[in-house]
Chains A and B, each alone.
Chain A
């Protein structure tokens, strides 16, 4: 019934019903869901900001020297946006799709497959935003985000959440089993986590390693969040946002197409 049609033809405000379903479940477990984004940045700040800072001192970033903790704090937010959205639309969505058959149940109601999939991705972005808000509160407590520019991190979390949610959903549509998510995590997520300009400036890398890093969506998210947190957005942010928009525009429709192929027989 949906073959060959533009995916957005089948998307209505009903996608919020899918979002609401996840929100209802989330609210039940919010005490547990709240803890990781609250505690994780504290652990990282302690380990890297306090422990490693003593060794590193300052980092040459752009035109000026900034403290190492100032350098990595925004990157931790970006990493958390990636993790929250990606893990939601991989493991969590896969459990709903395959084990709980939640999507099957929804497809006996007036919801379309397109609304279900996009609703899940928007939910993944929502989790990224929730984690971002908590982390921003913690990190701001250390005076590491300059405002009002720092508020732009919130829409950046929406955009990054959609981008990583969409690629996560694409993997969910094609993996044969839940264990196989190890593969994109090992080949895609972890390299970005380490080499996406998170823990050291990309300038420190030789060019053969630096240039591929600009293919990573995380690199662009880190750049954008860091510039806005530092109060001096420049061309890196602009390119970053454009890249993430383009990435989302590719992977969101792709995930829907792959899901159609997987679920509609």
Chain B
């Protein structure tokens, strides 16, 4: 399968701190690839190197088979980037924003007009063409950022936390549109804090922490491998419960005020412990990517 991005031992050092510390991964054409990690894990540093914003400290990085260090202009002309900040031009209207941006890519005005109309309609913004950017809601701004990232008809779309700060309706709308883009064959690279977003959109993902990759795989495999099938959470466990779990459960975490038990349906004790614990007013649910994430990156706050 053809790679869109090939990063090998990628490194980035800021003022002696290793923000990205030897990261290697490939993004294949047509897939949606996610980079997950807590704040400061090195996600944004990694994607900034990919679109040639930050010079890399070490390693190698090819995008579309071209070296980012020498062919950054060609690479950037074929990438659409939706950065974390909504850095639209506040003095301009929606259409003017798109025209100005299209000019940076030398897109002809007729083409820009055609694309702007199509992608605004696609992102459900066609009724706001002549609006001032300052009049738009947070969800609309985010969608406009995605339209702007598509104005050069990129081969790779890079999204840095595309739905942070959006309400659930807006998030679902953005997800639907991104799924549609992926189904048309667009390669997508995404960073996110939302595990449901990553589970839904990503074919494959990596979880990073402290500048390194902890795991790589598709969301379902990662869940099965690192969190099992089902999870039981026991709030404020009594002493006897804690003892029972300690004796019978091979895989659990004790958070003090809460026990988290990772269950695999193949386990012999599965059925019996389940019926026993259910009576204790505890929560039973499917394992999610969030469980994988918290297990691998820990529960300490990152500030």
A residues near B, CB below 8 A?
Answer: 1-3, 14, 17, 20-21, 24-25, 28-29, 100-102, 104-112, 264-265
Please tell me if the beta carbons of B73 and A110 are within 8 angstroms of each other in the complex.
yes
Please tell me if the beta carbons of B72 and A28 are within 8 angstroms of each other in the complex.
no
Please tell me if the beta carbons of B104 and A110 are within 8 angstroms of each other in the complex.
yes
Can you identify 9 A-B contacts, CB atoms within 8 angstroms? A17-B103, A24-B96, A25-B89, A101-B87, A107-B53, A108-B51, A109-B152, A112-B73, A264-B53
Most buried by B among A1, A2, A3, A112: A1
| Distance of A29 Cα from B96 Cα, bound (Å) | 14
Please tell me if the beta carbons of A108 and B76 are within 8 angstroms of each other in the complex.
yes
Instruction: Choose among A1, A100, A110, A264 the residue that contacts B77 (Cβ–Cβ < 8 A).
Output: A110
Please tell me if the beta carbons of B91 and A101 are within 8 angstroms of each other in the complex.
no
Q: How far is the CB of B46 from chain A (nearest CB, A)?
A: 13
Please tell me if the beta carbons of A264 and B54 are within 8 angstroms of each other in the complex.
yes
Please tell me if the beta carbons of B105 and A104 are within 8 angstroms of each other in the complex.
no
Q: How far is the CB of A217 from chain B (nearest CB, A)?
A: 30
Q: B23-64 toward A: CB 8 Å interface, digit per residue (1/0)?
A: 000000000000000000000000000011111000000000
Task: Check if B90 is an interface residue, CB within 8 A of chain A.
Answer: yes
B277 neighbours in A (Cβ, 8 Å): none
Please tell me if the beta carbons of A3 and B55 are within 8 angstroms of each other in the complex.
yes
Chain A: which residue is nearest B148 at the CB level?
A105
B51 neighbours in A (Cβ, 8 Å): 108
Interface size on B, residues (CB 8 A): 31
Chain B: which residue is nearest A21 at the CB level?
B100
Please tell me if the beta carbons of B76 and A109 are within 8 angstroms of each other in the complex.
yes
Please tell me if the beta carbons of B103 and A20 are within 8 angstroms of each other in the complex.
yes
Identify the 9 closest CB pairs spanning chains A and B, nearest first.
Answer: A101-B87, A108-B81, A109-B104, A105-B87, A1-B55, A110-B77, A110-B73, A25-B91, A110-B76
A to B contact number (C-beta, < 8 Å): 70
Please tell me if the beta carbons of A104 and B85 are within 8 angstroms of each other in the complex.
yes
Please tell me if the beta carbons of B83 and A104 are within 8 angstroms of each other in the complex.
yes
Asked whether A1 and B68 contact (CB < 8 A) given A100-B87, A109-B101, A110-B77, the answer is: yes
Q: How far is the CB of B209 from chain A (nearest CB, A)?
A: 20
Asked whether A1 and B103 contact (CB < 8 A) given A101-B85, A105-B87, A108-B83, the answer is: no
Q: How far is the CB of A169 from chain B (nearest CB, A)?
A: 19
Task: Check if B92 is an interface residue, CB within 8 A of chain A.
Answer: yes
Chain A: which residue is nearest B15 at the CB level?
A265
| Distance of A102 Cα from B105 Cα, bound (Å) | 15
A21 neighbours in B (Cβ, 8 Å): 89, 100, 103
Chain B: which residue is nearest A101 at the CB level?
B87
B52 neighbours in A (Cβ, 8 Å): 1
A1 neighbours in B (Cβ, 8 Å): 52, 55, 68-69, 72
Task: Check if B232 is an interface residue, CB within 8 A of chain A.
Answer: no
Within 8 A of A (CB), among B79-101: 79, 81, 83, 85, 87-92, 96, 99-101
Please tell me if the beta carbons of B89 and A102 are within 8 angstroms of each other in the complex.
yes
| Distance of A109 Cα from B152 Cα, bound (Å) | 9
B90 neighbours in A (Cβ, 8 Å): 100
| Distance of A65 Cα from B299 Cα, bound (Å) | 82
Task: Check if B14 is an interface residue, CB within 8 A of chain A.
Answer: yes
Q: How far is the CB of B284 from chain A (nearest CB, A)?
A: 45
A17 neighbours in B (Cβ, 8 Å): 103-104
Instruction: Choose among A14, A29, A102, A111 the residue that contacts B87 (Cβ–Cβ < 8 A).
Output: A102
| Distance of A25 Cα from B88 Cα, bound (Å) | 13
B81 neighbours in A (Cβ, 8 Å): 108
